[in-house]
Amino acid sequence: MIVLSVLLVIIMLTSSFAADGSVSAYLMAGYVMAMVLNVFLPHMLATVSMRRYMPGTATALIFNLPLGLLYLSRALSENRIELHVFYWAGPLIVLSILASIPVLFFLGRKWFAAQV
């Protein structure tokens, strides 16, 4: 979580100062898309399938979903990103984040094992 959170801050800062249509603008939009999708997978899916509350579901529904959708709609309406590019860049970024999670867990286990 720490690595992904630091990455988000770096992407957010660089995209704030970058030109419309920049790589960092698409990285930010893709990251936001990942957080919007994260509302449904795993939070909502786990809550419904296990018939019990999964921690983070309320936060995801209250914050991630509406703010993420607002960000994406504003990024598109203000021409920060173009839809035809985001169609392929967004899913690519989401898949990259998803693929990094097992790698980060592995590295985290190695790092904590070395600390003990």
Residue-wise pLDDT for 63-113, tens only, equals 999 999 999 999 999 999 999 999 999 999 999 999 999 999 999 998 888
As given in the structure block, the two tokens for residue 96 are 């990259």
How many other CB atoms are there within 10 angstroms of residue 85's CB atom? 13
Angle (deg, nearest 10), helices 83-115 and 23-38: 70
pLDDT in tens, 27-77: 999 999 999 999 999 999 999 999 999 999 999 999 999 999 999 999 999
Structural domain including 62 reads 2-115
**Domain count of the fold of the chain:** 1
